[in-house]
């Protein structure tokens, strides 16, 4: 068995957990290193998460923004890819526990990312889905499309309005982008498709706990995003807390609002694996790491990407959970491992991680975006063009680039969304049309 | 309410059940008729079923071959579209029963199609999924991709071979196309992506109960398909009956074959709704209709498409369950309704349905297909080109045409499949990699 041969090989084994930006770029950077690399992920694909909201809003298909990890790494001979979920880590014995057995490592790179956080109200999860995986996006797409189907046949005006009310919780980039896209669907994409309802009366409400949108970007850009969203007809509620989520209604502060569609873009927490490390986590469930991204006391274990709580060595500020930071962390760790292998011994001290902040941006709608690059601010059409380019270039393969460009051009000029399919078995049954139907019902036939 | 207004309108109400080829084309043909049309479907999309196997084999995304019915009919003012599942029909009172209530009709057009038939062995359904809906296709895609993931980490050679064995049951167009595409995946698409297994050793076995493949096409084309498949490395077993399907194995005649991947392309039966009509059905559960496609004794009820058992008025032969026949039936019924509305009274006799057989075809692999058009036979590259054109032209919208052409060119020249994503929650857990993982597991986090 090749399996046994590689286990007995003398080359050190780097086990990477997670094929997101951090894990994948770490693996790629190790291509020429004298190590064996294993990349394990729960999914078989690398997902370009910044465009995931476009799957949720029916612009793109999942295959446009996701590529099989095996495919991406197929020419890199020192890496093997495995579809598996990490159960935990035995730091003492340098073992990673998987359902079918333990795997030993010389270096462990934890890059398993973050998931939604409902701030202790995990029972809201089914009623207010978040947007982290392809399946999340398809679930949201299904609900959004079903909402209009249900409204079309709802005779009671109040019930109809509840079905046509979309509440997006969280005013970060995902929340802003979702709110803008949902409003565009209602006002541009589908008005002609329905006979009974006027889809332009659909309400989109963006709820943000803090005093402004896009807190990670400079203040003027948050204000511009607010203005743009309001011009589009999105209701933005700042300084507002969602206090309860129940079926068909949401409490925002003291207000009770009938709303059947709630989308959660508010909080994230580190993935569950962090808990098995036995160290103190930060309030968001992230792992505080040393300046070199290693776990304190365990120089052979690194935590990178959204799972890491790390302060930038230069500025002392917390490194944000964004794709460029994840890529840089993954590459930094690969560089450290290569240096140690070249030196043949542990390096002391290792070079600390320095985050190169290239800026940030968010798209709001057609021809509308805000961007902050190299200290300069952009908005409107120019920012929107920059946003589009910046999100096309890093797409993992040429095929995806072409496909996304095509979908965007199509959507731009036709105002239509091409992936308006209600598919899959929903997590929650939705009352709609002439009865309770779910996405697909062939199993009931 | 618009609802109430339209109910009281004096125009007769044509209720069409099913937005497949027959139902959709019936609705479209009624565009200029003085009738109100309601089209009800369990799904929100019209599916171009002839290309569904390409979703199952990761070439196309669902959105490439499915379009929202509302979108297709958005400019046709006399039609409304509703997402709903028909429960049954009250012929006496001219009522269609839906979960939320009854809907009355003046004309009823049943076009709800066919589903898989396991010949009384419905317990095989989970182990041997069929290919009728988008969700079916995604389920098969998930299983096929997971099979290789599982094989990659399987140490036992016999167990590994079972995971790499794909059995396709049924030698009609769907079975032939699936078998060819599965073999191409194994031999061309993914060999470089795996480290431990040699994917070219994957077995694809096509099982056909009859003495030849593609029974609906002329004999020489069936032989050519057999030869082509064998050249590609597909094992074809003619005159062979699948006698049992269990987890991890399949019985073909007296042979017991370890195989973890079984795909059902063998039998179809009329959709369940037919049973509520209270009339005698044919052995495949289809509704025997009069020459004008109406239900005997009920001139206001028509059955069209795969659900209809009808003999061609000219040849006396059974009209096959193919897309062109469904389109022609839908249009024929629309024409009859229009004639009756123009005459202002029931026509007696109505013109009988005549099937214009334009031929048939099946694709086998890259540059390989067979086609029978206007009495002439084609095979190889020429037939493959014809097949491609014939399947692009009727795609419902321009966007889909471009997207499919692009995907095909990409797949042709790069030999890669671009939709290799394992998504959704499977109907059946699959043992794979380092343990039992399913498509997505975020609910377990």
Which member of A68, A406, A432 has the closest CB to residue B420? A68
Chain B contact for A9 (CB, 8 A cutoff) = no
CA distance B207 to chain A (A): 25
For the record, the structure tokens of B354 come out as 């005549």
Is A78 part of a structural domain of the chain? no
Of B154, B177, B208, B300, the catalytic one is: B177
Query: Could you count the other beta carbons within 10 Å of the beta carbon of residue B158?
Result: 8
Least confident of A30-39, B163-172, B432-441: B432-441
C-alpha span between A34 and B45 (Å, rounded) = 52
Is A68 part of a structural domain of the chain? no
Domain hosting residue A405, numbered range: 120-267+359-437
C-alpha span between A49 and A305 (Å, rounded) = 13
Is A61 part of a structural domain of the chain? no
Mark yes or no for CB contact B406/A410 under 8 Å: no
Q: In terms of DSSP bridges, do strands B165-169 and B261-264 run parallel, antiparallel, or are they unpaired? A: parallel
Chain A contact for B406 (CB, 8 A cutoff) = yes
Is B307 part of a structural domain of the chain? yes
CATH number for B188:
3.50.50.100
Chain A: residue nearest B406 by CA? A403
Is residue B90 located within the same domain as residue B234? no
Residue B1: the pLDDT is 32
CATH number for A104:
3.50.50.60
Residue A396: the pLDDT is 66
Is residue B242 located within the same domain as residue B100? no
Give yes or no for residue B82 having a pLDDT over 80.
yes
Is A62 part of a structural domain of the chain? no
A414: which chain B residues are within 8 Å (Cβ-Cβ)?
399
Which member of B63, B99, B418 has the closest CB to residue A434? B99
Least confident of A89-103, A421-435, B62-76, B362-376: A421-435
Of A154, A177, A208, A300, the catalytic one is: A177
Name the B residues in 204-243 with CB < 8 Å from any A CB: none
Please identify, among A283, A310, A343, the residue that sits at the C-terminal boundary of a domain.
A343
Residue A349: cis peptide before it, omega within 30 degrees of 0: yes
How high is the ipTM of this complex?
0.83
Is residue B33 located within the same domain as residue B131? no
Q: What is the DSSP letter of B130?
A: B
Mark yes or no for CB contact B445/A135 under 8 Å: no
Domain tally, chain B? 2
Is A194 part of a structural domain of the chain? yes
Is A100 part of a structural domain of the chain? yes
Residue B9: the pLDDT is 63
Is residue B321 located within the same domain as residue B396? no
pLDDT in tens, A286-332: 999 999 999 999 999 999 999 999 998 888 889 999 999 999 999 99
Is residue B416 located within the same domain as residue B286? no
Residue B42 near residue B17, CB atoms below 8 Å: no
pLDDT in tens, A2-35: 343 444 467 999 999 999 999 999 999 999 999 9
Residue B119: the pLDDT is 87
Mark yes or no for CB contact A193/B70 under 8 Å: yes
Is residue A102 located within the same domain as residue A145? no
Chain B contact for A140 (CB, 8 A cutoff) = no
A136: which chain B residues are within 8 Å (Cβ-Cβ)?
442
Please identify, among A343, A375, A392, the residue that sits at the C-terminal boundary of a domain.
A343
The pLDDT > 70 percentage for chain B reads: 91
Is residue B259 located within the same domain as residue B368? yes
Is residue B244 located within the same domain as residue B385? yes
For the record, the structure tokens of A193 come out as 């498709």
Per-position b or e across A77-94, b if 16+ CB within 10 A of its CB: ebbbbbbbbbebbebeeb
Cβ-based contacts under 8 A for chains A and B: 227
Give yes or no for residue B195 having a pLDDT over 90.
no
Question: Token pair 């001290």 is at which residue?
Answer: A349
Chain B: residue nearest A98 by CA? B434
Is residue A155 located within the same domain as residue A254? yes
Mark yes or no for CB contact B133/A424 under 8 Å: no
Chain A contact for B345 (CB, 8 A cutoff) = no
Chain A contact for B97 (CB, 8 A cutoff) = no
Mark yes or no for CB contact B418/A83 under 8 Å: no
Instruction: Calculate the average pLDDT of chain B.
Output: 88
Mean pLDDT of B386-408: 76
Low-confidence ranges of chain A (pLDDT < 50): 1-8, 428-445
Residue A429: the pLDDT is 46
pLDDT band per the 50, 70, 90 thresholds, residue B345: confident
The question of whether B340 is a catalytic residue gets the answer no
For the record, the structure tokens of B48 come out as 């171009």
Is residue A339 located within the same domain as residue A363? no
Mark yes or no for CB contact B435/A98 under 8 Å: yes
Query: Could you count the other beta carbons within 10 Å of the beta carbon of residue B34?
Result: 12
Residue B378 near residue B370, CB atoms below 8 Å: yes
Q: Which among B60, B433, B443 is the top mutation candidate for probing chain A, defined by the most A β-carbons within 10 Å of its own β-carbon? A: B433
Question: Token pair 């992920």 is at which residue?
Answer: A41
Is residue A190 located within the same domain as residue A292? no
Give yes or no for residue B2 having a pLDDT over 70.
no
A102: which chain B residues are within 8 Å (Cβ-Cβ)?
none
Among the listed residues B80, B77, B70, B74, the one whose alpha carbon sits nearest the alpha carbon of residue B103:
B80
Is A331 part of a structural domain of the chain? yes
3 state SS of A205: strand
Chain B: residue nearest A117 by CA? B445
Give yes or no for residue B67 having a pLDDT over 70.
yes
Is residue B230 located within the same domain as residue B367? yes
**CA atoms within a 13 Å half-sphere pointing along the CA-CB vector of A31:** 9
Phi, psi torsion values for B66, nearest 5 degrees: -135, 140
């Amino acid at each position: 068995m090749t399996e046994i041969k590689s286990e007995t090989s003398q080359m050190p084994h780097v086990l990477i957990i997670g094929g997101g930006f951090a894990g994948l770029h770490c693996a790629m950077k190790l291509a020429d290193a004298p190590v064996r690399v294993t990349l394990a992920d729960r999914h078989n694909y690398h997902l370009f998460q910044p465009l995931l909201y476009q799957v949720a809003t029916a612009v793109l298909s999942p295959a446009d923004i996701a590529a099989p990890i095996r495919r991406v790494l197929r020419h890199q001979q020192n890496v093997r890819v495995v579809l598996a979920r990490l159960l935990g880590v035995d730091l003492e014995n340098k073992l990673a526990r998987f359902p079918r057995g333990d795997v030993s490592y010389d270096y462990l790179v934890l890059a398993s990312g973050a998931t939604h956080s409902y701030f202790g109200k995990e029972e809201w999860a089914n009623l207010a889905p978040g947007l982290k995986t392809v399946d999340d996006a398809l679930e949201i797409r299904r609900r959004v499309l079903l909402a209009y189907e249900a409204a079309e046949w709802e005779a009671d005006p109040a019930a109809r309005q509840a079905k046509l009310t979309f509440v997006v919780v969280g005013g970060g980039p995902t929340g802003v982008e979702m709110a803008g896209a949902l409003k565009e669907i209602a006002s541009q994409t589908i008005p002609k498709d329905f006979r009974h309802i006027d889809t332009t009366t659909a309400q989109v409400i963006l709820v943000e706990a803090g005093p402004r949108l896009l807190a990670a970007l400079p203040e003027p850009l948050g204000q511009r995003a607010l203005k743009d969203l309001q011009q589009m007809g999105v209701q933005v509620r700042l300084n507002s807390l969602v206090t309860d989520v129940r079926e068909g209604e949401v409490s925002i502060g003291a207000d009770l609002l009938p709303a059947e569609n709630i989308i959660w873009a508010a909080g994230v927490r580190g993935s569950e694996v962090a808990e098995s490390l036995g160290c103190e986590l930060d309030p968001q469930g992230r792992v505080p790491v040393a300046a070199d991204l290693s776990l304190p006391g365990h120089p052979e274990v690194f935590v990178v990407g959204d799972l890491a709580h790390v302060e930038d060595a230069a500025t002392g500020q917390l490194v944000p959970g964004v794709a460029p930071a994840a890529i840089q962390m993954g590459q930094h760790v690969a560089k450290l491992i290569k240096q140690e292998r070249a030196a043949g011994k542990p390096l002391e001290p290792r070079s600390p991680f320095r985050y190169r902040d290239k800026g940030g941006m968010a798209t709001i709608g057609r021809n509308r975006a805000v961007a902050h690059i190299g200290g300069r601010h952009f908005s409107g059409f120019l920012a929107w063009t920059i946003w589009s380019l910046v999100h096309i270039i890093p797409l993992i393969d040429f095929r995806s680039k072409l496909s996304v460009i095509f979908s965007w051009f199509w959507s731009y000029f036709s105002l239509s969304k091409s992936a308006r399919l209600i598919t899959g078995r929903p997590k929650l049954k939705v009352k709609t049309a002439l009865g309770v139907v779910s996405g697909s019902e062939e199993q009931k036939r």
